[in-house]
């Protein structure tokens, strides 16, 4: 359970973490299992955890007045899930996070996170790298979102996250891209025809 996490830390920081240092990290993160459709965060409440996904898949989304879901982000094995804004500022979130499959998570509260960052320089570095990547990924997403037409968005998705197409229902992928499920279906058909 923690082994995967340890590998992840080594990889992302290009280092080998010592037993002593990993000890601190292990203590800060609790194991949490979630069944499909269970919620990690409900709109209106403060985000409790920063969650590392060991197994399973989740989504981070909002629901508008008309009841439509808008998926901001997916998460799979080796990804983090949290509403950083809510977690950091301890403010009510406008988002939901729930499990799309049964999940195994490692979770830490905001205080625990801060403590590990102090105790483990490697973890601190990881957090920094993570923010950076997140920032870059989001910028690319913004770029795709303002530049691309529906079919380009789908092609972009197919290129960047080909596994998502197998793994998640199309209506969710459509929501992620900001297009309707019907458009997704039609564009997809058109692309496959080539």
CB nearer a second copy, residue 35 or residue 143: 143
Q: How far is CA 63 from CA 21, 37, 51, 95, in A?
A: 40, 15, 22, 8
DSSP 94: S
- Which x/- pattern, by CB under 7 A, does the window 51-90 give for DNA? ----------------------------------------
Selected binder of DNA within 70, 118, 169, 191 (CB under 7 A): 169
Q: Is 64 in the site for a second copy (CB under 8 A)?
A: yes
CB nearer a second copy, residue 19 or residue 111: 111
Q: Is 128 in the site for a second copy (CB under 8 A)?
A: yes
Q: Is 38 in the site for DNA (CB under 7 A)?
A: no
- Distance separating alpha carbons of residues 24 and 22, to the nearest angstrom: 5
- A 10 A CB-CB count for 29 gives 23
Q: Which stretch binds DNA (CB under 7 A): 10-18, 110-118, 129-137, 173-181?
A: 173-181
Report H helices in 92-180.
110-119, 121-147, 150-160, 162-167, 170-177
Strands (E), 64-127: 69-75, 80-81, 96-99, 103-109
Element (H, E) at 55: strand 49-55
CB nearer DNA, residue 3 or residue 65: 65
Residue with tokens 């977690």: 87
Question: Can you give the length of the chain in residues?
Answer: 194
Q: Is 134 in the site for a second copy (CB under 8 A)?
A: yes
Q: Is 181 in the site for DNA (CB under 7 A)?
A: yes
Q: Which two tokens stand for residue 18?
A: 């010592």
Q: Is 145 in the site for a second copy (CB under 8 A)?
A: yes
**Contact footprint for a second copy (CB under 8 A):** 62, 64, 70, 72-73, 84-85, 88, 127-128, 131-132, 134-136, 138-143, 145-147, 175-178
């Amino acid at each position: 359970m923690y082994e995967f996490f340890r590998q992840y830390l080594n990889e992302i920081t290009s280092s080998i973490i010592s037993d002593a240092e990993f000890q601190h990290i292990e203590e800060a993160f609790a194991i949490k299992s979630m069944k499909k459709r269970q919620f990690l965060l409900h709109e209106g409440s403060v985000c409790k955890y920063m969650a590392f996904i060991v197994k399973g898949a989740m989504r981070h989304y909002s629901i508008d007045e008309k009841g439509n879901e808008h998926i901001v982000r997916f998460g799979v094995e080796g990804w983090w899930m949290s509403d950083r804004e809510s977690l950091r500022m301890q403010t009510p979130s406008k988002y939901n996070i729930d499990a799309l499959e049964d999940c195994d998570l490692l979770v830490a509260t905001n205080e625990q996170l801060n403590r590990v960052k102090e105790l483990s320089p490697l973890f601190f570095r990881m957090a920094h790298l993570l923010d950076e990547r997140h920032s870059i990924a989001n910028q690319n997403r913004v770029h795709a979102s303002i530049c691309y037409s529906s079919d380009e968005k789908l092609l972009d998705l197919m290129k960047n996250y080909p596994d998502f197409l197998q793994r998640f229902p199309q209506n969710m992928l459509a929501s992620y891209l900001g297009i309707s499920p019907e458009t997704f279906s039609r564009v997809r058909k058109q692309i496959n025809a080539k």
